[in-house]
Structure 1
Amino acid sequence: MMTATRVKERSLLGLRGLDAAEISAILDRAAYWDKQTEKASSVLASRFVSNMFFENSTRTRFSFEMAEKRLGAQVLNFTAAASSVEKGESIYDTVRTLESMGIDAGVIRLKPAGVLAQLSEKVSIPLINAGDGNNEHPTQALLDLYTMLKTFGDIKGLTVSIIGDIMHSRVARSNLWGLTTMGAKVQFCAPENMKAPELMDYAPYVSMEEALRADVVMMLRVQLERHASGMLSSAEEYRRQFGLTEERAAKLASHTVIMHPAPVNRNVEIDDAVVESAKSLIFPQMSNGVPIRMAVIERAIR
């Protein structure tokens, strides 16, 4: 059984506070798995991993499951919609129940920010953050960093513009912490009511025109549900002011690449034709999620 210190070291709750050496080690191990021609390995044979998703997800859950199975682990998938959580069972009790049954690690996605950190102090298995509220989404940022590394050969010195709803974005936060640690310059672009004031000390907000002069233009998903709350006047107006339209994409520098964490609202934050354009790395990002998550899961258990 792992000691409490080792459990904490093997958990991945976020990228904030993770040093460059640790991030580089994960990226290097992902590169190793990326090069393997055999889809399946027995590295984690006889180990059990539970994917505990208290918030809906498709890409992230499938990516984790693919990574776990490629490592040879036994996978237990758990979704809140078909569980005792609907009957009032707490998230803590659910995690403790699965821990008591003998899982070796837990991958957790949930809505409330801060709960995962509290859970990690109460359980004796490594936990991996698959997205918690508007706090962090570390494996998404790691796959983004890995995509940039494969594209440019280095992350240090890159200018990365993150455009969209910064206030509610865990992707923006994890990328901010990871990229700056690895020596990149991060800048934000967002409507006034979608800015996160607490992040202004770490990255400047720039105009759309300036944001498009970066090495990497990362568009965030427009959370259309915020239209109902009045934060978003209309999808059409958002596209006009902050969308990566075909016209804007045509003016990007020859070396600039386009990224997006998905799911994509086509013709809102990014035009349909731009999604699969030569500059777009959106689908390679998704592909890179598997080796990154293999590296993170292996780090948690081995």
Structure 2
Amino acid sequence: MASQFDARGRLRHLVTLKDLSRAQLVELLDLADRFITPYGEFPARDPALAGRTVANLFFEPSTRTRASFELAARRLGADVLSLDVSTSSRAKGESLLDTIYTLQAMQVDVFVIRDAQSGVPAFICDHVAPHVAVLNAGESHLNHPTQGLLDVLTMRRHKGGFENLVVTIAGDIQHSRVARSAHHALKTLGIGELRLVAPAALAPDPDEFAGATLLDNIEAGVRDADVVMCLRIQRERMEVSRNPDPADFHREFGLTPERLALARPDAIVMHPGPMNRDVEIAGSVADSRQSVITEQVRNGVAVRMAVMQTVMETLHG
């Protein structure tokens, strides 16, 4: 895979958070913070990408992430092209690289890639021109770096730092790129304790989450936590016969008001979306005063603005 960094160690592509230093993560979070405005005010804008072109290539369905990247690019002044895989040339048999080369010939500067297959963003990094950046918008079960950034940004804005923070992520850990990217970021930022809660059938390989505590009991996982993030069951990534019954899952692992009461009184509740209410999270919890789920969405636009501005400064600054 081509390096995420240029010869001077600056961020050129963003495929995974695993290789970013603490300083690089903090720099991205600080920049994103500057792009957040209060609800009701005009969203932040910056001409950093004026004259540039961003192509969103979503070969896996998405609503939130695609809309977020598109808004982020437009608020930075870029021209935006969003391709629907159902009508794209790839669906007609054109190779992925031919699609990339065609769009690159149209002077695309940034490719935002989402794909259900592992390794696609890194593969594209190896083949784009030197002046082009690639951003991973979700890759199989492995990486979702901008989601990881917006999650830790939301935590930082509410809790200040990470050193003494107890973060619980509960749900389908095994198939979650969100959990993996959050783990990469939190580990680098010096998290106090990361707990991962899942039934045995959805538990991950412990080697993928070094330093985290793996649990199969939701009450133990939530007790005295500062942050509780729920994950949906990734039904599209498993055989139908292995899909848990929604009612059973909610009874055994769902975040209910009673279970949330075991966390610290000022604990925040998070969810990357889309939510399955009354499966991994009770609707009343999702809508409670402790929920910061809509803030995550707002923070996601700011994070994606920060990432795009950063890679463009690396390539053209």
Same fold (TM over 0.5): yes
State the secondary structure of the residue aligned to 1:130. strand
Q: Give the share of equivalent positions with the same residue, in percent.
A: 41
Give the Å deviation of 1:175. 0.3
The 2-side partners of 1:287 and 1:135 are apart by: 24
What one-letter code is carried by the residue in structure 2 that aligns with 1:138? P
Are residues 1:196 and 2:204 paired?
yes
Give the Å deviation of 1:190. 0.6
Q: TM-score, normalised by structure 1?
A: 0.94
Are residues 1:58 and 2:63 paired?
yes
Partner of 1:160: 167
Give the Å deviation of 1:300. 1.6
More displaced stretch, 222-231 vs 175-184: 222-231
Partner of 1:80: 85
Q: TM-score, normalised by structure 2?
A: 0.89
Partner of 2:257: 246
State the secondary structure of the residue aligned to 2:49. coil
Give the Å deviation of 1:233. 3.3
Contact 1:8 1:126 in 2 (8 A): no
Contact 1:30 1:295 in 2 (8 A): yes
Give the Å deviation of 1:230. 2.3
State the secondary structure of the residue aligned to 1:52. strand
Contact 1:215 1:257 in 2 (8 A): yes
Contact 2:180 2:209 in 1 (8 A): no
Partner of 1:25: 27
The 2-side partners of 1:5 and 1:74 are apart by: 28
Give the Å deviation of 1:192. 0.5
Contact 1:136 1:174 in 2 (8 A): yes
Aligned with 2:270 (options 259, 263, 280): 259
More displaced stretch, 28-37 vs 167-176: 28-37
Are residues 1:216 and 2:227 paired?
yes
RMSD: 2.0
Give the Å deviation of 1:282. 0.7
More displaced stretch, 81-90 vs 219-228: 219-228
The 2-side partners of 1:250 and 1:202 are apart by: 26
Stretches of structure 2 that go unaligned for 5 or more consecutive residues are none
Partner of 2:49: 44
Give the Å deviation of 1:76. 0.8
The 2-side partners of 1:200 and 1:154 are apart by: 21
Are residues 1:142 and 2:149 paired?
yes
The structure-2 alpha-carbon separation of the partners of 1:223 and 1:278, relative to structure 1 and needing over 3 Å to count, comes to same
More displaced stretch, 224-233 vs 291-300: 224-233
Are residues 1:175 and 2:186 paired?
no
The structure-2 alpha-carbon separation of the partners of 1:74 and 1:6, relative to structure 1 and needing over 3 Å to count, comes to farther
More displaced stretch, 124-133 vs 33-42: 33-42
Contact 1:147 1:288 in 2 (8 A): yes
Give the Å deviation of 1:6. 7.2
Contact 2:58 2:85 in 1 (8 A): yes
